[in-house]
Amino acid sequence: MSARTGSLHERHRAVLPRWLTLYYERPLELTHGAGRHVWDADGNRYLDFFGGILTTMTAHALPEVAKAVGEQAQRLVHSSTLYLSRPMVELAERIADLSGIEDARVFFTTSGTEANDAALLLASAYRGGANQVLAMRNSYHGRSFSTVGITGNAAWSPTTLSPLQTLYVHGGVRTRGPYAALPDEEFIAAAVADLEDMLAHTRPAGVAALIAEPVQGVGGFTSGPDGLFAAFREVLAREGIVWISDEVQTGWGRTGDHFWGWQAHAAAGPPDLLTFAKGIGNGMSIGGVVGRADIMDALDANSISTFGGSPVTMAAGLANLGYLLEHDLQSNARRVGAELRERLVAGAEDLALVREVRGRGLMIAVEVVRPGTGEPDPAVAALVLERAREAGLLIGKGGGPGGSVLRIAPPLSLTGEEAREGAELLVAALAGVDAELA
Ligand code: PLP
């Protein structure tokens, strides 16, 4: 047995797998949080512009959520789906009503991966065992065997051996790929023609679903034009193929203009299945699928979920969602997000390092390149992350090919003052790296 000695970082390295991504050369040990701030084990305070990974939806250590969790934990921590559970039924009712899907059913899981896995299983069962899936290039859908198989991002997809056969579709990225130079309507027409062509070369009866993130998260907060999925929907509906909207990052008002990402494609109506996770539990592990009753009921076997829908996480979800709606944090995300984006655009104007500032609501990306070459470079993004951290600001990174995108996704209660402070810190970090690399 190896000695359990050394720094926490060394012990982490010795006992956890090496592919478990850690940020920073000196990784952070976070000890507590409040509002939009977190503290590390050395007592340093950080403004949190990444919210875990978009998991802290409302605020860190929100008293309303802490109270609900504490009270539930003192009554009953676990019961399993074999018994009736009031918090599970109540949260399911709220999510069904919010989903926009008529007469919806909800199934709770404990992560986004498992939610997508369940959605794929349901779609396949509904489609008579079909095992092909249409997924977008540059997508990310999880880390299980089936979800890495449909993830269109090699950096996060370690195997091609998946139980599913994936057909990758164009259109998730407005600024890259064969249609990038086209105006929106022509872009959509080209992507639809590609989808039709792909279906003409396979047997549509073998295709269970199209799964897509309305705004790609790990792929670098990027999307196709509004209306793309409404156009895709027409083709899918003709063949009876299920549309799964992966709202793990885009749900709950994060994008400001809409409560769900699919609403930017509203002409199509709601998706057949919608998967959610991350923000709903404010850090507690809740994921799930909400969808059409005929698809949700398509499994012809018994099932349980030992931890999905457990009372403590459901209590957290109910309190968190209640706070979000009561304080209209979607509107806050729209207002404060727009201000933050404008400040970043203005601050980045003269920096060779910044290729683009984009985003919606509090889902904002700054795409960086190496000054001189103008090429994406993950090392440049990593350097900005380090400099921002030194200044007391936590942000995320990501991006598809090139992996050179900074991701900003604070808790949705971010104040105008905090947005100004964060923008100043980030622009200073960008300017510092720009000068360093010039
Ligand atoms: N889907 C999307 C869009 C995600 O961004 C993620 C995680 O980042 C997942 C699914 C997987 O969620 P989890 O990490 O909770 O399994």
Q: What is the pLDDT along the chain (438 residues), one digit of tens a residue?
A: 556 889 999 999 999 999 999 999 999 999 999 999 999 999 999 999 999 999 999 999 999 999 999 999 999 999 889 999 999 999 999 999 999 999 999 999 999 999 999 999 999 999 999 999 999 999 999 999 999 999 999 888 888 778 889 999 999 998 888 899 999 999 999 999 999 999 999 999 999 999 999 999 999 999 999 999 999 999 999 999 999 999 999 999 999 999 999 999 998 899 999 999 999 999 999 999 999 999 999 999 999 999 999 999 999 999 999 999 999 999 999 999 999 999 999 999 999 999 999 999 999 999 999 999 999 999 999 999 999 999 999 999 998 888 999 999 999 999 999 999 999 999 999 999 999 998
Q: Check if 246 has its Cβ closer than 6 Å to any atom of ligand 1.
A: yes
How far, in Å, is the centroid of ligand 1 from the Cα of 54?
Answer: 10
- Contact in structure between 284 and 109 (CB atoms under 8 Å): no
Strand partners, 106: 290
Write the residue with the smallest CA distance to atom 14 of ligand 1.
112
Write the residue with the smallest CA distance to atom 10 of ligand 1.
141
Nearest to 120 by CA among 272, 263, 251, 7: 272
Token pair listed for 422: 């964060």
Q: Check if 361 has its Cβ closer than 6 Å to any atom of ligand 1.
A: no
- Contact in structure between 254 and 290 (CB atoms under 8 Å): no
Q: Check if 413 has its Cβ closer than 6 Å to any atom of ligand 1.
A: no
Q: Collapsing DSSP states into helix, strand and coil, what is residue 389? A: helix
Alpha-carbon gap, residue 96 to 253, rounded angstroms = 16
Nearest to 79 by CA among 67, 66, 71, 88: 88
Q: Check if 171 has its Cβ closer than 6 Å to any atom of ligand 1.
A: no
- Contact in structure between 389 and 28 (CB atoms under 8 Å): yes
Q: Check if 140 has its Cβ closer than 6 Å to any atom of ligand 1.
A: yes
How far, in Å, is the centroid of ligand 1 from the Cα of 156?
Answer: 11
pTM greater than the 0.90 cutoff: yes
- Number of Cβ within a 10 Å radius of residue 306: 11
Q: Collapsing DSSP states into helix, strand and coil, what is residue 68? A: helix
For residue 143, with 0-12 CB atoms within 10 Å meaning exposed, 13-18 middle and 19 or more buried, which class applies? middle
How far, in Å, is the centroid of ligand 1 from the Cα of 147?
Answer: 10
Block residue for tokens 């400040």: 343
Write the residue with the smallest CA distance to atom 3 of ligand 1.
248
Q: Amino acid letter at 142? A: G
How far, in Å, is the centroid of ligand 1 from the Cα of 5?
Answer: 33
Give the position, in ligand 1's atom list, of the atom nearest the Cα of 278. Answer: 15
Give the position, in ligand 1's atom list, of the atom nearest the Cα of 112. Answer: 12
393 contact partners, CB below 8 Å, separation of at least 6:
46, 47, 49, 422, 425, 426, 429
Q: Amino acid letter at 63? A: P
- Contact in structure between 227 and 213 (CB atoms under 8 Å): no
Residue length of the chain: 438
Q: Check if 216 has its Cβ closer than 6 Å to any atom of ligand 1.
A: no
Q: Check if 279 has its Cβ closer than 6 Å to any atom of ligand 1.
A: no
Block residue for tokens 């040990």: 29
What is the ipTM metric for this complex?
0.99
- Contact in structure between 74 and 66 (CB atoms under 8 Å): no
Give the position, in ligand 1's atom list, of the atom nearest the Cα of 216. Answer: 3
291 contact partners, CB below 8 Å, separation of at least 6:
99, 101, 104, 105, 119, 122, 271, 272, 273, 274
How far, in Å, is the centroid of ligand 1 from the Cα of 186?
Answer: 31
How far, in Å, is the centroid of ligand 1 from the Cα of 140?
Answer: 7
